[in-house]
Amino acid sequence: MDDAAYKEIKATLRSLDRRAATIEAAVEKLKEELQSNRAERQRLVDLLTPINDLPSETLADIWDYTRECHKHPRVGGENWSHGACRWRFKIAPSVLKMSWVSRRWRGVALTSPLLWSDLVVSPHTSLELARMKVERSQSCPLTIIVNFANYCDDEDIHDSDASVAHFLSLMEVIQPHVARWRTLEFIGCFGIMEMSGHVTSINGPAGKTIVDACTGILATTPATQLMNIRVQYDSDLPVELPEFMRGGLPALRRATVHGMDVRSCLPALTSLTSLDLRIPSGQRPTPTQLRDFILACPDLSTLSLHGPPMEYFLDPPEDYNYPIITAPAVRSLRIAFNIDEEHLGYYFFKAFSLPNVETLRIHDSTQEQLDLFALQLREIDFTGRIDRFPKLRKFSSHYNRFSPDSARLMLQYMPTITDLEMDHFDMPQVTRYLLEYASSQGQVRACCPLVKLKTLTWNNATNEPVATEAVLRYVVAERITCGFPIAKLRVDRGFLQLHADVQRWYRERIDVEVVPWIPQDEAGYFI
């Protein structure tokens, strides 16, 4: 190769290098423009979908409210498995579905262990899901909900032996982490027990085996973070909660036990602030046992009773006196009457002394039960026993059917009541009746029970703004005419559906407090 050819090749190579550099520069510029274009496009997309703009912490907080433990335990649940029922139960846990949406959402889900900290144990909960949740929850406190109330036609899954075996396998995954349990709920469904060897509810022998295995863990293993326990089980079979480990439940604050014998476990429940009981007849503690337990609970502020909490005499001997059960810490008392036991009011107010109780709430009771309760108050001369309930100020009714005369009797024999709370079914007719009764008896209206009331609270009026306006106008008019001391009305947002001028008319005459919903006391946690 001569010198001229050599120089020509070198020049060509330099030219190609320059051209390559130019192309590379153009490519880099195009990449920058492409990146800028993508960023601008994403910015515009984010304007259309603001959720993409949320910080990861906020996104995780939103997902937290979709967790299964925040749903009503009798509805839905973690029916996610690889079994034959998958065609019918297609509800995967919310956090799992969220993690399938995008890489960012998956990253948020996997770095938020709280979102994995609830586990609903059912015949359809796969071992894979249980292990996944326990692992991804890391060190977060766990919410365990045992719920065998959702069923399909798969006989293999719902065979009694298969259900028990599957549950025990799930508990083998969960039990090593009992120190992380924060809430334990065992929800039995209502209905028939077992048919043809298949579980149609957990109320039969298979259910008893499951509930014994579930609660038995607490008899041998300390659950130092357990704050809430709820066991709801209806069966003709006697089922007893075991004697929980003494000192093994130091953080326990709320307990709900329906349908089970609690006598053995009472010594381990003295740290409670809220207790909700529905105990079958024949499995209840004696008055003396209950008295000793209540005295050992210095922080028990909310007591809920579904029927009698202790054994009692319908016709006690003449020389028999109930031991007085004094509960100085109780501030709120909730009562519901059993269908076949309607003597709760008669013996309860003879046996109990609640010197600091402020609220009496009756719920889920029939008109006949409430009529009997009102008559019992009159029969035992509750007014003469009011020294046992000197601070009782509020009477609350939820999901009842009051006869107006029963409401009158209750208010008449509980003279310290100044705050009346009722549902929209009862409030209009009760308030009208109280006034009309006084007139029909030839009394001045100021003698009727309304004269003691300072606050009226009306629940569930959201869908009846017209009725809300009618009863409010009536009460306010009578307040002005007769000088009643009612100074405050508490209503829900149905009041806001009234015309602005109408709202203004009431606000100028009386203190109206509008709340999103009527707040529940601590006992409402399990209701």
Residue 330: both structure tokens together? 């109780």
pLDDT value, residue 347: 64
Residue 17: both structure tokens together? 């290098």
pLDDT value, residue 524: 40
Q: Identify the H or E element spanning 293.
A: helix 287-295
Half-sphere exposure at residue 501, Cβ-oriented, CA atoms within 13 angstroms? 0
Whether residue 11 lies inside any domain: the answer is: no
pLDDT value, residue 21: 92
Whether residue 457 lies inside any domain: the answer is: yes
Whether residue 19 lies inside any domain: the answer is: no
Quote the CA–CA distance of 313 and 320 in Å, as a whole number: 9
pLDDT value, residue 56: 80
DSSP 8-class letter at 524: G
Half-sphere exposure at residue 274, Cβ-oriented, CA atoms within 13 angstroms? 18
pLDDT value, residue 92: 57
Whether residue 393 lies inside any domain: the answer is: no
pLDDT value, residue 78: 42
Residue 32: both structure tokens together? 């920058």
Quote the CA–CA distance of 466 and 464 in Å, as a whole number: 5
Residue 78: both structure tokens together? 């973690």
From 246, 271, 296, give the residue that closes a domain: 271
Query: Pairing between strand 274-278 and 302-306?
Result: parallel
pLDDT value, residue 313: 64
Q: Which domain holds residue 90?
A: 44-271
Quote the CA–CA distance of 272 and 301 in Å, as a whole number: 8
Task: Specify whether the CB–CB gap between 294 and 325 falls below 8 A.
Answer: yes
DSSP 8-class letter at 159: B
pLDDT value, residue 202: 46
**Residue carrying the six token digits 């085996």:** 209
pLDDT value, residue 344: 65
Whether residue 329 lies inside any domain: the answer is: no
Query: pTM to 2 decimals?
Result: 0.76
From 203, 236, 271, give the residue that closes a domain: 271
Quote the CA–CA distance of 1 and 447 in Å, as a whole number: 129
From 271, 292, 317, give the residue that closes a domain: 271
Q: What is the number of structural domains in the chain?
A: 2
Whether residue 496 lies inside any domain: the answer is: yes
Whether residue 291 lies inside any domain: the answer is: no
DSSP string, 470-505: HHHHHHHHHHHHHT----EEEE-GGGGGS-HHHHHH
pLDDT along the chain (527 residues), means of 10: 84 90 92 91 76 77 68 40 36 72 84 88 83 92 78 48 82 92 77 38 62 83 92 74 85 91 90 92 87 93 88 64 86 82 66 90 85 81 74 87 82 86 76 70 58 78 62 74 78 81 88 72 37
Which of these, 375, 373, 352, 348, lies nearest to 363 by C-alpha position? Answer: 373
pLDDT value, residue 380: 72
Whether residue 315 lies inside any domain: the answer is: no
